[in-house]
Structure 1
């Protein structure tokens, strides 16, 4: 076999195959460029234009005019058309049944390999996640959970889902804490109101008790004064008879000071509340005017509890002055004043 002929044949075959390979590569490149220009680039520009060119841009959309549509009955082209319309109106995840994600997901259910839908979901994911975050911040927890679930259908492994779920849990806990604080404040206000009512009732009861005690003291003082007047009226005729019998005789009388008006002490409120009883011994001088002078505490049990009340009562006492050889004189006395609950004297 002539080797020169074989070599020339191989060279001829290589020369013929080279234009074919070049043509195939050119066709593939042309298809790629056409796909980019006609499909992917317009979609990216649409997304960037509708959202300010950055996923972090706040999305403020009103979905009041959008109503749910029958997704099941729509064709792939209809779904893509509705999805594009939703993208322009920034209805990425809401309202339910009429948003871009649901349209694209339905396209993938009908055509699992549809590049337009899969690319749109991937590229729109950050904007949709931002919308879901706003829903969380608005504390619309049920809607936020639905939107997160919709995002999970598009990209279940995306780390953004973990962040959104954490924020949703944090907002729920914050709301629970605020509600608990409100309940605690209401409870504290109720307790304060109850304490105020109880304090007012206790003050009214104490005032009533003090009024009753004062009334009892007045009654005892009035009874004592009446008794002294009666005793004085009984002894007066005898004195007049003795004077008549011995008109020339000079009366020489010696007698101690006689209590004519006794003021009962006021039981100290603090001791009364604590249930404390005791006594106070008071030294004092009865002047020739029948009034008490120089009253001081000699002994007390317990000390400094009933001292003031005892001195105040003794200073209001009145006496018939002591007399020596017919003349009025001062006299020093000591009296013990008992403080017993239910028997204030």
Structure 2
């Protein structure tokens, strides 16, 4: 029996995201060299911007669409079913959430228009344990930066980083241009195909106007933005798990061994049921969290509940990925099947916005 997980929030946003993600599969599988893949990802981001996705969570007062959390979740759900390798949660959700009200007008109109491609960065989360975390100090109207930010999800061709880091010992929010003559950059493509950056800040200076805000309001906004990122990555995980369960069932129903389809073998049927139950449990948990956040705000969610949910969903994502590869056999390791791309995305979920060790410590 075929299986398709129902949309979390059905509608045009979900359908549009699912179509773009499905088209991206073929376009990316046709290229292998890094420059060609970068060009495809850039074109995909342009299409996402043309659909208005960067503007969804930007208030109307800042020239955005003034959308809801459910709107963004619908986009991530559709995109996640084909593991679209764009940092939609980070760039379209976390960036607007990081900005206190007094700083939003400096950045968000450019985000909403698509003119700026902004990547969020948290010094306390994206640090190299072998070197100091990112920080800044003011000196004579100049901002002097130090340290580094590693493993930052970034839109293709990112123009700016919105950096949360200590400034003179207080919580600060810095707008850092990523142009020539700026910070040192190391560009990577993650296991799941998403663009990633390391930003090297030692010796970088910025005008004082790059410090958008500082103080308790910044700390509260950063905490809320991190919580939102944690919730949104769980949405992406549930979308990918549902698609992977459906594709596993389809594969077992059509692949023939010893004159029988694989779905006739009891041990494989039991394995498939295990994947299904893990997906359904994670889906129910995430739906309850999204519903609660939509009724109040992400900041109002119980922090310990959110940390424990990330632990559960991260572990479930890995177990579903590993189980699906086992059920696909050797074919599951090839890029010929969508299952391979979905499993790679699910293996990254456990590390996005804090790995298991981070969330276990915060939940203790």
> TM-score over 0.5 for the alignment?
no
1 or 2, which has the higher helix percentage?
A: 1
- Find the structure with the greater CA-based Rg: 1
TM-score (normalizing by structure 2): 0.20
TM-score (normalizing by structure 1): 0.21
Higher relative contact order (CA 8 A, sep 6+): 2
